Chain A
Amino acid sequence: MELVNVFIKAAFIENLVLSYFLGMCSFLAVSKTLKTAFGLGLAVIFVLVVTMPINWLISTYLLDEGGVLGMDLTFLRFILFIAVIASMVQLVEMVIEKYSPSLYNSLGIFLPLITVNCAILGGSLFMVAREYTFAESIAFGAGGGFGWFLAIVALAAIREKIKYSNVPAPLRGLGMAFLLTGLMGMAFLSLLGIDPASF
């Protein structure tokens, strides 16, 4: 039940992009069309679910004072996390290319972008700060990724429609995207009322 709780919280209550602004760059840049947004969203879920447990293992068994090395190596956390993310993205890219060219064609171009997506590193850093367990870290990765996916797909769909509206010239594009994100964030706030005890 704790896991469902973590998932719901990561996806709706503390949506990575809507309440922490993580992954905003690609969120705004790739949300012009629904199809690409869908692909990027899937890729983010995938990479989050893969990297979070690996970073959990590294952080618990390698960097922590109680780990196998018996030394406090937390100062290497940033470097190792980002290295894991970069290499996992590369690995995932190669695996997908080899075994599923069709998936690669739809996700391929977004994978390198994901390395510098704050949501991925942010997920790992939140996991350490909140002292999640191994299972919780996977639930958090899945929930966080799903929330991000939901947000970008929703924004892309709205942006596709708003193209035909008469928006004041200086607000066109970027300005409007910010306004929409803000409104979506407010809408998501209403989900705060979900009772965690009901899961």
Chain B
Amino acid sequence: MAETTIEKKEPIFAFGKKERKLLTDPLNDNNPITVQVLGICSALAVTTLLFPSIIISIAVIFVCAFSNLFTSLLRKSIPKQVRMIVQLVIIATLVTVVELTLKALDYPTYKQLSVFIGLIITNCIVMGRLEAFAMANSPWKSFLDGVGNGVGYGVILIAVAFFREVFGKGTFLAGTPFEVKIIGPNSEYLINTMADGSWFSWYQNNNLMVLPAAAMFLIAIMIWIHRAWNPKLVDIS
């Protein structure tokens, strides 16, 4: 496991095989959601639409990478007694930075995400990586590990959001300039009637997809596919 690597004299910004593994490992063998079961909280609730999910993924990658970096830089001076609090303060500060920035850049999305930006603080991946990796590894490696885990998380989140938006609302990237109506009756349709407007206008939006339960089913299916394809991950217990 990557967690047990011993520090040797190496260049600070090396990018060899080992570093690449830090980035790619969380995408497959060690995916934070489907394998480590961390951090599913906090963000799934926004996955009814793709755009907010992309924003929150970027935020998680940012927080994960930089909290790992700062913790790793401070790892030798953090007193053991207050370790948890120090880590939480680092994370909370970064999340506040994200919140203030988003509020300035895209206020409607900030409103839409409301409490879920703050909940990145308790996203277990961030905390989990600090404990498991950043406290014992060099800053550059920790940074890469943070990016890798953030991306591994974001990929699942965006995949869930893609299915929920397309099959639940029939749109793609709604709320952005790139908004496309993919399937289902045109959103301008009259209530309780059908009118065409897109490629598959006979499709009725699936209301199950906009319910929270759909996110659970989608993740269950992803886990199923992932583990069927990579049998060493199967839960034997």
Direct contact between the two chains A and B in their complex (CB within 8 A): yes
Interface residues of A (CB under 8 A from B): 18-25, 28-29, 75-79, 81-83, 86, 115-122, 125-126, 128-129, 168-176, 178-179, 181-183, 185-186, 189
What residues of chain A lie closer than 8 Å to B213, measured between beta carbons? 18, 182-183, 185-186, 189
Main DSSP-derived SS at the A contact region = helix
B93 A79 Cβ-Cβ under 8 A: yes
B127 at the interface (CB under 8 A from A): yes
Residues of A with C-beta under 8 A to B92? 78-79, 82
What is the CA–CA distance of A126 and B225 in the complex, to the nearest angstrom? 35
- Contact A121 B216, beta carbon cutoff 8 Å: no
Are B212 and A19 touching (Cβ within 8 A)?
Answer: yes
Q: Do A25 and B44 touch across chains, with their CB atoms under 8 A apart?
A: no
Chain B residues with CB below 8 A from A21, complex form: 40-45, 212, 215
Give the docked Cα–Cα distance between A171 and B223 (Å). Answer: 7
Residues of A with C-beta under 8 A to B114: 129
Our pick among A76, A118, A125, A178 for the contact of B41 (Cβ within 8 Å) is A118
Question: Does A117 contact B223, Cβ atoms closer than 8 Å?
Answer: no
List chain B residues, Cβ under 8 A from A168: 224
Contact sample, A vs B, 26 pairs, CB 8 Å cutoff: A25-B41, A28-B37, A28-B40, A78-B118, A78-B121, A115-B88, A117-B122, A118-B41, A118-B42, A118-B123, A120-B122, A121-B118, A121-B121, A122-B122, A125-B115, A126-B115, A129-B114, A170-B223, A170-B226, A170-B234, A171-B224, A174-B34, A175-B223, A182-B213, A189-B211, A189-B213
Q: Which residues of A contact B121 (CB under 8 A)?
A: 78, 82, 121
Q: A86-B85, A125-B115, A178-B223 are in contact. Are A75 and B96 (CB under 8 A)?
A: yes
CB neighbours (8 Å) of A77 from chain B are 96, 118
Bound: A81/B32 CA distance, A? 26
Contact A122 B119 (CB under 8 A): yes
In-complex Cβ contact of A20 among B39, B89, B124, B212 (8 A): B212
Is A182 a contact partner of B220 (Cβ separation < 8 A)?
Answer: yes
List of 8 A-B pairs having minimum Cβ-Cβ separation, nearest first: A182-B216, A173-B235, A170-B227, A118-B41, A178-B220, A125-B115, A185-B213, A182-B213
Q: Is the CB of A125 within 8 A of B119?
A: yes
**Contact, CB under 8 Å: B127 / A116:** yes
Contact A129 B115 (CB under 8 A): yes
Contact yes or no, A170 B93, CB < 8 A: no
Q: Are A86 and B84 in contact (CB under 8 A)?
A: yes
- Which of chain B's residues has its CB closest to A121's CB? B122
Contacting residues of chain B (66-121) with chain A, CB-CB under 8 angstroms: 84-85, 88-89, 92-93, 95-96, 99-100, 114-115, 118-119, 121
